[in-house]
Amino acid sequence: MMETSQPILPEATSRMRAAAFSVHIFTALGAGVALIAMLEAVREHWTNMFGWLGVALIIDALDGPIARRLDVVRLQPNWSGDILDLVVDFLTYVFVPAYAITASGMLLPLAAPVLGIGIVVSSALYFADRRMKASDNHFRGFPALWNAAAFYLFLLHMPPVLSTLAVAALIALTFVPIHVLHPVRVVRLRWLTLWLMAAWALLALLVLLNDFNVGLPIVVALCAIGAYIIGSDAAIRLIKSFKA
């Protein structure tokens, strides 16, 4: 939820203030969802864990537009929606997925705890980096989307050596100034991005409903959409360099 500092107007009613504060409660509810997801992860109910992380994604997608609609920044200036959002995002995007990646047996045993620490430390630094977004709203570096990374690791079920190398590479890419597409805020080809994200959501739901037992076409489609998000900016820049 983006914020600008504005004084509270006298005509703001208590009902409006209560409605505005309810948006912060709605955002904070994501932390409760993260706890449920963590409990499922501890029980190794991985599909249920991803289902709850999906609920957290829905909350994260809705709270910003609702906050702007209800003018939360003006009506509740003492509560920082930005900070609250980052706290909840760290739990749902990083901490719970980091546990799943570390504890699921997908990584080499000796490397798993080290990489788990690497995930949470690198992501904490990334969240604190004021340069995390470029001027065109692309993310700079791998944007700590460890919920998505964990989903793909479970989907592809690669040998532990390959999964270990993939996680190590993503940790390193957190600090590399590549540009990664923001699915909503990047204007270029937004119509295509939104359609692809809708398709991704439907396919991911299908994967969870089938407990990750899906055919190759669905796997390929999900990987293609993931490649678009990660590599579309680099591909466009490369094409433009050839034309120059």
pLDDT, average across residues 86-105: 96
Q: Is a pLDDT exceeding 50 seen at residue 1?
A: no
Confidence tier at 89 by pLDDT (50, 70, 90)? very high
177, pLDDT greater than 80: yes
* pLDDT more than 90, % of the chain: 64
Residue 120 has pLDDT above 90, yes or no: yes
Band of pLDDT at residue 6, cut at 50, 70 and 90: low
pLDDT of 72 reads: 86
180, β-bridge pairs: 139
Give CA angle at 197 (100, 226), nearest 5°: 55
pLDDT of residue 113: 96
Determine the average pLDDT of the residues in 7-23: 74
pTM of the entire predicted model: 0.88
